Structure 1
Amino acid sequence: MNYLSVENISKSFGERTLFKDISFGINKDQKIAFIAKNGSGKTSIMRIINGDDESDTGQVVIRKDIKMAFLSQNNNLQDELTIEESIFASDNEVLDVIHQYEKALENPEDEEAYQKAFDRMDQFNAWDFETQFKQILFKLKLEDFKLKVKNLSGGQKKRLSLAIILINRPDLLILDEPTNHLDLEMIEWLESYFAKENITLFMVTHDRFFLERVCNEIIELDNGKLYQYKGNYSYYLSKKEERIASENSSIDKAQNLFKKELEWMRRQPKARTTKSKSRQDDFYVIKQKAESRRKENQVELEINMERMGSKIIELHKITKRFGDKTILDNFSFDFQRGERIGIIGKNGTGKSSFLNVLTGTIPPDSGKVVVGDTIKIGYYTQSGINPKPGQRVIDIIKEYGEYIPLTKGKIISASQLLERFLFDSKKQYDYVEKLSGGELKRLYLCTVLIQNPNFLILDEPTNDLDIVTLNVLESFLFDYPGCLLVVSHDRYFMDKIVDHLFIFRGEGVIENFPGNYSDFRAYEDSVEPVKDDTVKEKNNWKQQNVSSGLTFNEQKEYQKIEREIKDLEIDKIKIEQLFSEGKVADADIEKKAKELQNIILKIEAKEERWFELSAKMEG
């Protein structure tokens, strides 16, 4: 059954065309994800579908009597209402019945009103409905029904808007980034809820785990064309790769034909016959096809990273409290070179506060943070850029200099740097206030990285980024040679980038877990609650993570050793070059020789361990 049809819609702003002649349908029980780059009109399409904006062409046809709800990035809540009043303010007969019953409970002396309300609860089968909607509010951490909307945080308002939509059970749900402002526990609950409920969904989300587990169809807007994939995210990735390979093959053939036709065109006399005119017209079609090879997005930035010494950052018995709330309780940790740590935990457990203590933004109550002399921290916060009025994109970068130093004495201009961060020459002269949320994030990341940090801290870097940009960022961070500390709710991102986790449990409890997010979920799912509220580990959890003879921890050690050997080899080459070029002062020869010998011994020890693990893996 067709719920909604989008027929040939288009949208332009002045000379800029967002999209043109877009058509697709949404049928009952489909769970569709809509994927496109930032700035290509995803939100505009959703607003047109919801009737909040008009298309320049075409129309949206909605089946009669279909109940549709739209979760946008902006809430439409009334500030003076409480959470409870906001829920009951919606146009839902069953909710009205529940509301009248709850009012009757407040006046038990009015037996007639109570009995009437009780009978209507039976009549509308509202008892189960009340249980379900209170469970939704509990899962979204909205238990204080008397809180007024004006006193809620931005995240709480987004969750309340989501709760109202879920409680009202529309036939068709339109969702714009539904997982923003949800912690991991909430996201996984929502995943499970959508996966099992017979709800028709059309959504924009950058959460690729969510896409994988919830969606059964993906629609992609790519270079102005619409492509549909009947499957989840993995299926989409596979089929898109095949499509691009096929397109590039077709373009290669067109380029070969174009060269031949170009030679023919150059030999033609100016006077045209009908036959030659037809061939010349075909030539321009071939030319357009030959020049249509897609530009693959890739952030390229050779970090001129300062070499790290032996001391990175040491945390000595750090304690931090806000009133009665404990964030850190005698926490100690010694960061090592090349560490890539993810931080996860429920909202409010102190993840961002921990980063602020680490960077000296706020002081600890007790303990101390010792930062090595060679450490340069790059801190990407959730606050983002604060541009001056009338500032253009290129002005932001020029504040760091007209030319930016890279490795090996190379430099690039501010404009060239922006091109590497996917801002073309036209976009560089846009006013910063005109950028989309994702473009602002990308520009901010650029300003952090051009300062050449060797210890990079990222607080929710994936919020507002489209999937294309996320893949670009992941490729860059995968090869980043310094230390990396990341707070993120994006599980797919964490799996690709980090190799161990800090789990913030609340009340100052922080666990150091040796693995990525999927490893952690496998571990958490393998513990069983027992009657005395303790937990026991299933004996087979670590066995499940044994691959080719290595235990779980040995796999992590194996991966870490490979990076450590690579770093040591770089240090060895640098010292050897100093000796070969005669750049070591006489007074430093003995010291440098000892340093070189220590590095060689470390390499030998780590290679020996690497061979041991390799043999065990093969055995």
Structure 2
Amino acid sequence: MNLLSVENISKAYGERVLFEDLSFGINKDQKIAFVAKNGTGKTSVLNIIAGKDTPDNGQVVQRKGIHIAYLSQEQNFDSSLSIQETIFATENKILPIIKQYEEALKNTEDAENYQKAFELMEQHNAWDFETQYRLILSKLKLDDLNQKVSTLSGGQKKRLALAIILINKPDLLILDEPTNHLDLEMIEWLESFFKREKITLFMVTHDRYFLERVCNEIIELDQGNLYRYKGNYSYFLEKKEERIAQETSSTEKAKNLFKKELDWMRRQPKARTTKSKSRIDDFYEIKQKAKKRRQDHAVQLEINMERLGSKIVELHHLKKSFGDKIILNDFEYVFKKGERIGIIGKNGTGKSSFLNILTQKEAIDGGKVVVGETVKFGYYTQKGIQIKEGQKVIEVIKEFGEYIPLTKGRKISASQLLERFLFDRKKQYDFIEKLSGGERKRLYLCTVLIQNPNFLILDEPTNDLDVVTLNVLENFLLDYPGNLIVVSHDRYFMDKIVDSLFVFRGEGIVENFPGNYSDFRTYEDSKPQEPIQKTTKTTSTKESSPKSKLSYLEKREFGALEKDIEKLERKKTTVESFFMKDGITEEEVNEKSKELQEIISLLEEKEERWFELSMKLEG
């Protein structure tokens, strides 16, 4: 069933044409990602579909009576309201019933009012809705419902907007970078939520694991033309490579980029398993795997950075708190040459503060930071670039450096670096005010890299970058010979770039894990599961039993799932053994890789459902 049709829309700002004559449709239950380079009008397309903007030509036709919700980059709330008041102010017939019941709970002496509220909850089956409503708020860390919107950070406001949309269950959900401002735990929950729920999505995201696991179709805008791919990210990479190869042989470089990306995707383990059958405890084995990943990469860009001495950075007994909130508690680490460390942890655990301490931009409460004399930091922060009116792109980067030296006397000029990061010669002479948000982030990255640091620190470098730019950045960083520290919620990026992790657990606890993010998730998921806290409803006339027993249909489903999982495991083993054969063709590899991907996705889905039902059974 078609929910919305985009018919020949065009948009331009002055002489700058973003896109012309775009047409596509969105059908019920499709989960579509919209992929395009920064600056080609992705957000403008979303705004037009959501009715927040109008096209210069063409129209958007939507099915009568459908409810469309839009998660944009900017949120506008009444700052005088609390989180709960903001949620209850939305148009949802169940929310006032829940509110009435919660008010009645505060005054149980008024038996008549309480009974009436209770019966309304029963009548509208609001118990399940309330449970999911509270789960969504909990998962998005919106626990203090009385907190005023005026006191929320930008990230908290975006999470509130996301929560409202998920609670209200629109017919079509339009999302602009939904994983920005979410920590890794939230992203994985949202990923699982979208996989499980029957919901129609149209979104822009740079999160490639999200694309891989949530989307069943990708629409790409490339040089003014639209291309549709009926599959996930791996399928998109494969078919795009084929398309580029067919179009012209002169694009060999672009073809190789997508081929390498697809090969890497196929070699990687899943970033998250629902449950692991065994505990990984041999850290040396993980470390060896991490080292091998780096050796597999063939260096193409031999950067001749300033030599690092024997002493790099030493952290001795670091202590840092903000009031009662402990960030570091007696933390120690001595960096070695060439280390590539990712930093992960929930929002608010002190990741960005740690980077500021490392670069001595923030004072510590105790301990000592010792930086070697030869260390030259390059620090990409979340603040972005300071714009000077009237400056051109090339002028901005030349303020920081003219070139990056390579081995054998070669070099990359400022202009060549910009080209590498997708600023063509014409774009280099554009005024900086004309750049999109993603293009400004790209330029900021170039200003950090042109300084040729030997210790590079990147704080959320993937935010607002398109998939193509992320490929370029990853290839540059894989060639980078110095020390590297990255804070990122982009699991795919972390898997590809880092060899070990600092895991910020909160309360000043920081663990050193010798592997990438996929290794860490596998390790974490193999821990014994903590009991899930269940909520029960309060009845007025008789005791209610917790909703922990399986219904007759759920029991049948549970038994069938165990058989299905067993069959899929056998099928997975059979397909995997195929790759061990000699003489298999590339076509056979592609076909079997796609089949294996489908089996793994289905297996994860069934294991997730089995796990949910087993928790109810145990409860």
| 1:55 CA displacement | 1.1
Distance 1:479 1:147 in 2: 46
- Indicate yes or no: 2:65 matched with 1:61: no
Structure 2 CA distance, aligned partners of 1:162 and 1:423?
33
Q: Distance in 1 between matches of 2:337 and 2:412?
A: 28
Alpha-carbon distance change, 380 to 42 in structure 1, aligned in 2, over 3 angstroms: same
Which position in structure 2 is the counterpart of 1:520? 520
Q: What are the residue-to-residue correspondences of 1:316-465 with 2, within 5 Å?
A: 316-400=316-400, 408-409=408-409, 414-465=414-465
Per the alignment, residue 22 of structure 1 pairs with 22
**Distance of 2:471 and 2:416 partners within structure 1:** 21
The count of residues paired between Structure 1 and Structure 2 equals 495
Deviations 1:13-52 (A, max 9, x none): 1222111111111111111111111111111111111111
Which residue in 1 is equivalent to 2:501? 501
Q: Deviations over 1:417-451 (max 9, x none)?
A: 43343222332233323321211111111111111
Do the aligned partners of residues 364 and 294 (structure 1) sit closer, same or farther apart at CA in structure 2, a change above 3 Å counting? Answer: closer
1:251-266 → structure 2 map (5 Å cutoff)? none
Q: CA RMSD in A?
A: 2.6
Task: Give the direction of change, closer, same or farther, for the CA distance of 1:507–1:389 in structure 2 (3 Å limit).
Answer: same
Counterpart-to-counterpart distance in 2, 1:342 and 1:65: 47
Determine the structure 2 residue equivalent to 1:85. Answer: 85
Identify the residue that residue 48 of structure 1 maps to in structure 2: 48
Give 1:521's aligned amino acid. Answer: R
CA contact (8 A) 2:404 2:452 kept: no
2:163 aligned with 1:170, yes or no?
no
Residue equivalent to 1:288 = none
Look up the equivalent residue of 1:459 and give its one-letter code: D
Contact map agreement 1:341 1:484 (CA 8 A) in 2: yes
Equivalent-residue separation in structure 2 for 1:337 and 1:69 (angstroms): 49
Q: 1:207-230 CA deviation, whole Å, 9 max, x = no partner?
A: 001111111111111111111111
Deviation, structure 1 residue 511: 1.1
User: Once the 2 structures are TM-superposed, how far is the Cα of residue 101 of structure 1 from its aligned partner?
Assistant: 2.2
* Aligned-residue offset at 1:412: 6.3
Q: Structure 1 residues 169 and 487, CA, compared in 2 at 3 Å: closer, same or farther?
A: same
Structure 1 Cα separation of the partners of residues 417 and 473 of structure 2:
15
Over 3 Å counting, the alpha-carbon distance change for 1:165 and 1:530 in structure 2 is closer
Query: Tell me, what secondary structure is at the counterpart of 2:528?
Result: strand
The alpha carbon displacement at 1:76 in A equals: 2.4
Q: Which amino acid aligns with 2:336?
A: Q
- Report the equivalent of 1:582: none
- Displacement after TM superposition at 1:408 (Å): 5.0
Q: CA deviation at 1:182?
A: 0.3
Q: Counterparts in 2 of 1:134-283, with a 5 A limit?
A: 134-249=134-249
- Given the alignment of the two structures, is residue 116 of structure 1 paired with residue 90 of structure 2, yes or no? no
- Give the aligned residue type for 1:227: Y
Cα deviation per residue 1:292-351 (whole Å; 9 max; x = unaligned)? 997998999764410111111111111111111111111111111111111111111111
Contact (CA 8 Å) 2:340, 2:484: kept in 1 or not? yes
- What letter is aligned with 1:476? F
What's the CA shift string for 1:225-265, capped at 9, x where partnerless? 1111111111111111111111125x79xxxxxxxxxxxxx
2:95 aligned partner: 95
Q: Helix, strand or coil for the counterpart of 2:35?
A: strand
Deviation at 1:125, TM superposition (A): 1.1
For structure 1, which segment, 410-419 or 466-475, has the greater mean C-alpha deviation from structure 2 after superposition?
A: 410-419
For 2:354, give the aligned amino acid: F
Query: Does the 8 Å CA contact 1:502/1:511 hold for their aligned counterparts?
Result: yes
Report the equivalent of 2:609. Answer: none
CA distance in 2, matches of 1:512, 1:412: 35
- Percent identity reads 73
Does 2:37 match 1:37? yes
Q: Which amino acid aligns with 2:231?
A: G
Rounded to whole Å, the distance in 2 between the matches of 1:400 and 1:56 is 39
The gaps in structure 1 that reach 5 residues or longer are 253-291, 534-543, 545-619
Gaps of 5+ in 2: 259-298, 534-572, 574-619
Structure-2 separation of matches of 1:403 and 1:522? 42
For 1:293 and 1:184, locate their aligned partners in 2 and report how far apart those are by CA, in whole Å.
Answer: 33
The 8 Å contact of residues 297 and 422 in structure 1, kept in 2 or not, is answered as no
Q: Is the 8 A contact 1:300 1:420 kept in 2?
A: no
Q: Is the 8 A contact 2:403 2:450 kept in 1?
A: no
1:248 maps to a residue whose letter is: T
Q: Give the equivalent residue in structure 1 for 2:130.
A: 130
For residues 517-575 of structure 1, the C-alpha deviation after alignment (integer angstroms, 9 at most, x for no partner) is 101111111111478x9xxxxxxxxxx9xxxxxxxxxxxxxxxxxxxxxxxxxxxxxxx
Q: Flag the 1:332–1:293 CA change in 2: closer, same or farther, 3 A.
A: closer
The 1:240/1:417 distance shift into structure 2, 3 A limit, reads closer
Distance in 2 separating the partners of 1:100 and 1:300: 65
| Counterpart residue number, 1:272 | none
Tell whether the 8 Å contact from 2:404 to 2:451 is kept in structure 1 after alignment: no
* Aligned equivalents of 2:477, 2:403: Cα separation in 1: 23
Tell me the CA shift for residue 150 of structure 1: 0.7
1:386–1:193 distance in 2 versus 1, CA, 3 Å: same
TM-score, L = length of structure 2: 0.76
How far does the alpha carbon of each residue in 1:447-478 deviate from its partner, in whole angstroms, 9 at most, with x for none?
11111110111111000101010001001001
Matched letter for residue 462 of structure 1? T
Give the conservation status (yes or no) of the 8 Å contact 1:441–1:464. yes
Whole-Å Cα distance in 2 between the matches of residues 399 and 302 of structure 1? 24
Whether the 8 Å contact between 1:301 and 1:420 is mirrored in structure 2 is no
CA distance, structure 2, for counterparts of residue 230 and residue 384 of structure 1: 36
Indicate the SS of the match to 1:528: coil
Residue 559 of structure 2 corresponds to which residue in structure 1? none
Is 1:248–1:293's contact at 8 Å kept on the other side of the alignment?
A: no
Partners of 2:43 and 2:400 lie apart in 1 by 33
Which whole-Å CA distance do the structure 2 matches of 1:193 and 1:297 have between them?
A: 32
Q: Which amino acid aligns with 2:349?
A: T
Paired residues of 1:311 and 1:371 also in contact (CA < 8 A): yes
Deviation at 1:102, TM superposition (A): 2.2
Instruction: Supply the AA of the counterpart residue of 2:498.
Output: V
Aligned counterparts of 1:413 and 1:478: Cα–Cα separation in 2: 20
SS of residue paired to 1:226: strand
- Report the Cα offset of residue 365 of structure 1: 1.4
Contact kept, 8 Å, 1:68 with 1:172, in 2: the verdict is yes
| Cα separation, partners in 2 of 1:237 and 1:506, compared to 1, 3 Å | same
Give 1:406 shift: 5.7
User: Structure 2 vs 1, CA of residues 419 and 517 (structure 1 numbering), >3 Å: closer, same or farther?
Assistant: same
Relative to structure 1, the CA distance from residue 497 to residue 522 in structure 2 (aligned partners, 3 Å threshold; closer, same or farther) is same
Asked if structure 1 preserves the Cα contact closer than 8 Å seen for 2:303 and 2:404, the reply is no
Distance in 2, Cα, partners of 1:350 & 1:412: 36
1:479 equivalenced with 2:472 (yes/no): no
Q: Distance in 2 between matches of 1:98 and 1:230?
A: 40
Structure 1: how far apart are the matches of 2:130 and 2:105? 14
d(CA) in 2 for partners of 1:530, 1:134: 19
> What one-letter code is carried by the residue in structure 2 that aligns with 1:2?
N
Aligned with 2:315: secondary structure? strand
TM-score in terms of structure 1 length: 0.76
* 1:449-598 mapped onto 2 (5 Å cutoff): 449-529=449-529
* Distance in 1 separating the partners of 2:388 and 2:15: 26
Tell me the distance in 1 between the aligned counterparts of 2:525 and 2:412.
49
